[in-house]
Homo-oligomer: A and B are copies of this chain.
Amino acid sequence: MRAHLNRGELPGAASTDAVDRFKRLLHDRALRVTDIRVAIVKAALSRVGHFTADELVHDVQALGFQDPRATVYRAIPLLLESGILQPTVVSGERRLYEVAFGKEHHDHLICNRCGTVVEFQFEAFEMLQRDLAEKHGFRLTAHFHELIGVCASCQESERHAS
């Protein structure tokens, strides 16, 4: 039984990689590897789609930690810095995050009428992005690319409506 529908599984190996990356960050900063920090990483990794800090707090709580609020909030910057999570826009509502690790390619075409999401990948984009990053001296760790619009069938209904 699952408390949330919004769960996914990362292949075991990928999850391990992510945890390793996180541990490396902790080590580099002379911070400690604790059970709850590892639990937070795993809870984050098993999320699918966008989620709030609060949802993550609940997931970690469901894992048996009493009041992980403060600890989760304190861990989020670490998750961002280690590239496990990334912040998301989408709608301008609450602060949202999503898993970035292992999902470096994230290209969506979204209909903001009906919510349809078309995923796409376009090698030409990748190349341009790499060039651009290099030009500015950045090392890319992820990207977020969403094209928002109105899909064909919603354009159709719009026409009827007016």
Q: Mark each residue of chain A from 27 to 42: 1 if its CB lies under 8 Å from any CB of chain B, else 0.
A: 0110000000000000
Please determine whether B95 and A92 come into contact, CB atoms closer than 8 angstroms: yes
Grouping DSSP codes into helix (H, G, I), strand (E, B) and loop, the A interface class, with mixed when no group exceeds half, is: mixed
Contact A144 B112 (CB under 8 A): no
CA distance A132 to B106 in the complex (A): 13
Q: Which A125-162 residues have a C-beta within 8 angstroms of B?
A: 125, 128-129, 132-133, 136-152, 155, 161-162
Count A-side interface residues using an 8 Å CB cutoff.
Answer: 49
Asked if A102 is an interface residue, CB under 8 A from chain B, the answer is: no
Residues of B within 8 A of A88 (CB): 89
8 A–B contacts from the bound complex (CB under 8 Å): A86-B148, A87-B90, A87-B92, A109-B133, A136-B152, A137-B151, A137-B152, A144-B144
Question: Which of B29, B80, B146, B150 is the one whose CB lies under 8 Å from A92?
Answer: B80
Q: A112 contacts B80, CB within 8 Å?
A: yes
- Chain B residue nearest to A144 (CB atoms) is B146
Asked whether any CB of chain B lies closer than 8 Å to the CB of A68, the reply is no
The yes or no answer to A20 lying at the interface (CB within 8 A) is no
- Report B-chain residues with C-beta under 8 Å of the C-beta of A141: 112, 148-150
Complex CA gap A155/B140 in Å reads: 11
